[in-house]
Structure 1
Amino acid sequence: METKKVALVVGASRGIGRQIAIDLARNGYAVVVAAKTTSDASTTNPFPPDPNSPESTINTVEREIREAGGTATAVPVDTRDFESVQPLVGRTVEIYKRLDVVVYNSGAIWWASVEDTPMKRFQLMQRVNPEGLYGTIQASLPHLKRSLRGSGRIIVVSPPIYSRFFRGKTAYAMGKVGMSVLTKGLAMDFERQGVADKMAITSIWPAVAIESGATRAMLLKNPDEAKDLRRSTIFSDAILAMLRCPAAKINGRLELDEDFLRTPEGGNVVDFQKYALVPSSASGASGDKWEPPRRIMPKVLPDLSVAEQDDEGKRMNSAAAGKERAKI
């Protein structure tokens, strides 16, 4: 019997991350559920808890997966601390003997102007967002390269790169766009190393706002906003489609969930009503024509390449230079 592929989902205690972990398990993955929030899931009542509430933790998600017949282990982690990230990856490989997929969903949010973003908030976002991702990838890469036939995959929750994203949330955008730069740069590393036919890193971002812990407070104040939200299943469906794609077709892409699902690689999906959060809006039961939720992302995004894309000049390698100096 073939051993299950192993997925590490970082930021999986609630909302989108929880849905990703549950759907990976439903599709045959052994899942390590990682985040800071823990609890005694055996005493959680009612169970399962609201998936977008603080009562949803890595332990309740593990219990949900196990009670549904899946394989899961909850492992706490503080992504701000590389000394916490390394044992997380080590524990994953210790338990399951392999690592095939890493999904990085951890994120800290503060949307405000530069003037209204305190230094502590700025530092928190940079540590959780780009630094946490970088540390997770650094710790995981050796194991991903040793995965079945060397076909490790990394999925990053970060946006396409375009100027409007910076407006009104510059400090947040610096970190999230930095994560997308990491996606592009590591994809180029895979190409240079000749492994892009097996290894791939891809970024994904919602085209329409998704119900999550972040939107829960908004809905409590403005229930009517629900009509412009989608269920988190659209995100996990897009990620599963990405993982089914040949690595070379998906490596380095910065994708939106809906737009990717519409492509041949995503399954040529045309029905998005099933993802609408408000059932009456999705079914048209009111008699009105169904109107899709408001799209928060542009329909056309800029091409980041330049005419001189392949002209790097003399390539520098600081790591190699450091090794040469050490020999002297």
Structure 2
Amino acid sequence: MAALTGVTVFITGSSRGIGREIALICAQQGANIVIAAKSDQPHPKLSGTIHSVAQEVEEAGGHALAIKLDVRDEEAVNLAMQQAFETFGSIDVLVNNASAIVLTRLQDTDTKRFDLINSINVRGSFVCSKAAIPYLKKSRNPHIITLSPPINLASHWLKPYIPYTITKYGMTLLTMGLAEELRDDGISAATLWPQTSIATAAVEFAIGKELLKHSRTPRIMAEAALEIIKTEGLQLSGQTLIDEGLLKERGFTDFDQYKHDPNCDDLMRDLFLDA
């Protein structure tokens, strides 16, 4: 029997990028995957929809449920959680992956744009977590994993893109708070962040294509997420985890395999991380 047979993993923003990779690696372990994202039709510039990922999940050995979902819509989120539970009989893991990245100064950011990224990053994680908790309480080994960074209050991180920074830190504060609020319920809540930039379409559009060769593939984040999911109980709850650090603790040694460009040794450290 595969390691995650019967385990249901609900992943927001999973039509491409890191979310898709987490879906596929869990599917390879036999999991039920809820692919919850806005992309249900092909995009002219971006590959992947909830339906294409659902097909990949099934081909990888998992069971898929594709749901078109905007995490800002609380009613839709509640219905999606209910549909997931009714389909698979459990929700065991919530991955708060859906996120908006806007790297602009506060003075250059329209309030409407800030409201958008805050509603996706902080409010979306709040809404999805709240909706999932009643189902997670029924799980044998429940986890909330939020893709957000350790809170680094160094001035060089506070200065450049205040709107994005406070929303990502908000996701982390939410998750750390949930770790304590849900401790007596046996629900683990932790954050996960990459050591280096990750080669995704979001990074390419926000920062530029040149960065991709200095990045790792989403697979490293998926490997780390899988390690969290397989961890029993509250061992990792309340921690702000870094993909490389967690994998090294678990015995991983070959990190060259994750390079987007095998010939590039100059990897870019990700945002909010200091040497």
What TM-score, normalized by structure 1, do the two folds share? 0.77
AA aligned to 1:233 is: R
CA contact (8 A) 1:273 1:292 kept: no
Offset, 1:68: 3.2
- d(CA) in 1 for partners of 2:33 and 2:263? 34
Between the aligned partners of 2:70 and 2:212, the Cα distance in structure 1 is 31
Task: Give RMSD over aligned pairs.
Answer: 2.2
Change in CA separation of 1:292 and 1:247 when aligned onto 2, cut-off 3 Å: farther
Matched to 1:156, the amino acid is T
1:274 equivalent in alignment to 2:257: yes
Q: For 2:209 and 2:7, locate their aligned partners in 1 and report how far apart those are by CA, in whole Å.
A: 41
Could you tell me which amino acid in structure 1 is paired with residue 147 of structure 2?
V
Counterpart amino acid of residue 35 in structure 1? A
Structure 2 counterpart SS, 1:247: coil
- Map of 1:208-287 to 2, 5 A cutoff? 208-217=196-205, 221-222=209-210, 225-263=211-249, 267-281=250-264
Contact 1:10–1:103 at 8 Å: present in 2 too? yes
Aligned residues: 270
Deviation of 1:226 after TM superposition, in Å, equals 3.3
Q: Where in structure 2 are there 5+ consecutive unaligned residues?
A: none
What is the match of residue 69 of structure 1?
Answer: 61
Pick closer, same or farther for the CA change 1:96–1:220 going to 2, 3 Å: same
Task: Work out the CA distance in 2 between the residues paired with 1:158 and 1:126.
Answer: 13
Structure 2 residue 266 is matched with structure 1 residue 295: no
Does residue 3 of structure 2 align to residue 6 of structure 1? no
Kept in 2, the 8 Å contact 1:31–1:71? The answer is yes
Tell me by how many angstroms 1:35 deviates. 0.5
C-alpha contact (below 8 Å) 2:29/2:61 kept by paired residues: no
Counterparts of residues 112-151 of structure 1 (less than 5 Å): 112-147=104-139, 149=140, 151=141
Residue type matched to 1:134 in 2?
F
Q: For 1:4, give the aligned amino acid.
A: G
Cα distance change, pair 271–3 in 1 and its aligned pair in 2 (3 A): closer
1:203 partner amino acid: T
| Structure showing greater Rg | 1
Determine the C-alpha separation between the residues in 1 that align with 2:234 and 2:209: 44
Aligned to 1:86: 78
Give, as a single letter, the amino acid of the residue that structure 1 aligns with 2:145. I
Is the Cα contact below 8 Å between 2:188 and 2:236 reproduced in 1? yes
In structure 2, how many angstroms separate the alpha carbons of the residues matched to 1:219 and 1:168?
A: 13
Q: Partners in 2 of 1:166 and 1:92 — Cα distance?
A: 38
State the AA in 1 paired with 2:14: A
2:32 maps to what in 1? 30
Between the aligned partners of 1:292 and 1:10, the Cα distance in structure 2 is 31
Question: Compared with structure 1, are the counterparts of its residues 258 and 96 closer, same or farther at alpha carbon in structure 2 (3 Å cutoff)?
Answer: same
Q: In the alignment, what sits opposite 1:306?
A: none
Partner Cα distance (1:55, 1:298) in 2: 29
Q: 1:217 to 1:124 in 2, by over 3 A?
A: closer
Is the alpha carbon distance of 1:298 and 1:67 closer, same or farther for their aligned partners in structure 2, counting shifts above 3 Å?
A: closer
Q: What is the aligned-residue identity percentage?
A: 32
Q: TM-score, normalization: structure 2? A: 0.91
Q: 1:250 is paired with a residue of what secondary structure?
A: coil
**Rounded Cα–Cα distance in structure 2 between residues aligned with 1:81 and 1:56:** 22
- In the other structure, the counterpart of 2:188 is 200
Deviation at 1:238, TM superposition (A): 0.4
Residue ranges of structure 1 left out of the alignment (5+ in a row): 41-48, 282-290, 301-328
Matched residue SS, 1:129:
helix
| 1:118-149 CA distance string (max 9 Å, x none) | 011100011111101111111110100011x3
- Stretches of 4+ moved more than 6 A in 1? none
2:115, 2:245 → 1: CA distance?
Answer: 32
Are the counterparts in 2 of residues 25 and 71 from structure 1 also a CA contact under 8 Å? yes
